[in-house]
Amino acid sequence: MISTIFNEVFYNPIYNGLVFLIDVFPWVDMGVAVILVTIIIKLIIFPLTKKSIKIQIKTKQLEPALKKIKEEYKENKEEQARKIMDLYKENNLNPLSGFLVLLIQLPVIFALYFVFLKGGFPEVNTDILYSFVRIPQEINMNFLGLVSMVDRNIFLALLAGISQYIQVQLMLPKLEPKGNNHQKTFKDDLMRSMNTQMKFIMPIIVFFISYGLPAAVALYWITSNTFMIFQEIFVKRKMENRLSNN
């Protein structure tokens, strides 16, 4: 049941999308097809990612109010949690909605992995081909004639890690310098530690995962992160301009 849903929703559409693009545009190699499919996927989930970025910005704006609630109700955790949830409801925020974007991307990465592991490229599996998708005369598996999409590539893996670092830098809220916080708490230290791990550990994890998988997955990650970087900059500037004009 789960495998059927995975194939119908993720694997088959991505597989057919790659074949379709290569057939319609003869100049497109497999690497360019991966970039185009990634952009199409990002555009489809753009409303979700846009909402996630807005939640990050609004949550950051609510930090003074959140800090005040935590100070006032630090002896009553149950009341503290209720007040925080009330604050989120008043501002139409759902902190958990941001995880939906991540959950959507995971099956896409798995689908790409299986497409290049079991898809049989450059041969085309006609059993899962849609009726309107034709078999290309030739499939060039080398991105720009240089990088094989079915093999590992340390350069693309490195770019995936770097792009992840930049994307995390934009996503995480800026913390106050240690010297400005005269009353340190365990939560402050924990938050600072988590930020550090997200900034440095996450890109390293992305690098090793990308290097252990076909180069097509690393290329997807680079394209996805680059798209997210420009999207976050665009949405943040748009919100800032709207606030400044009000």
Sequence-ordered strand ranges (E) for 35-129:
none
What per-residue confidence (pLDDT) applies to 34?
A: 92
pLDDT greater than 80 at residue 174: no
The pLDDT mean for the chain works out to 79
DSSP of 64-91, one letter per residue? HHHHHHHHHTTT-HHHHHHHHHHHHHHT
pLDDT digits (tens, 9 = 90+) for 204-217: 888 998 898 889 88
End-to-end alpha carbon distance in the chain? 51
Q: In terms of Cα–Cα distance, which of 48, 49, 22 is closest to 37?
A: 22
Per-residue pLDDT tens digits for 82-132: 877 887 777 777 666 556 666 777 788 788 888 887 777 888 888 888 989
Range of the domain at 198: 2-245
Token pair in block for residue 221: 């990650």
Q: Which helix or strand (DSSP H or E) is residue 147 part of?
A: strand 147-148
What is the pLDDT averaged over residues 43-57? 76
Q: CA 141 to CA 18: how far, in whole Å? A: 11
- Residues 121 and 123: their CA atoms lie apart, in Å, by 4
Q: Name all contacts of 91-99 with Cβ < 8 Å and 24+ positions apart.
A: 91/58, 91/62, 93/55, 93/58, 93/59, 93/62, 94/55, 95/55, 95/59, 97/48, 97/51, 97/52, 97/55, 98/52, 98/55, 98/56
Q: Kindly state the average pLDDT of the residues 155-159.
A: 94
The C-alpha atoms of residue 215 and residue 154 are separated, in whole angstroms, by 9
The residue ranking higher by pLDDT, 244 or 33, is: 33
Instruction: Give the least confident one: 55-69, 129-143, 189-203, 226-240.
Output: 189-203
Average pLDDT over residues 31-48: 87
Confidence of residue 181 (pLDDT cuts 50, 70, 90): very low
Please check the confidence at residue 182 and state whether its pLDDT lies above 50.
no
Q: Locate 133 and state its tokens.
A: 């998708």
pLDDT category at 177 given cuts 50, 70, 90 is low
% the chain with pLDDT above 90? 18
Q: What average pLDDT does this structure show over 8-36?
A: 90
C-alpha 26 chain-centroid distance: 29
pTM of the model: 0.75
Instruction: Give the count of domains, the chain.
Output: 1
Contact partners, residue 3, CB within 8 Å, separation at least 6: none
Is 111 or 189 the better-scoring residue by pLDDT?
111
**Comparing 44-48, 96-100, 188-192, which segment has the lowest mean pLDDT?**
188-192
| Interval 166-195 mean pLDDT | 57
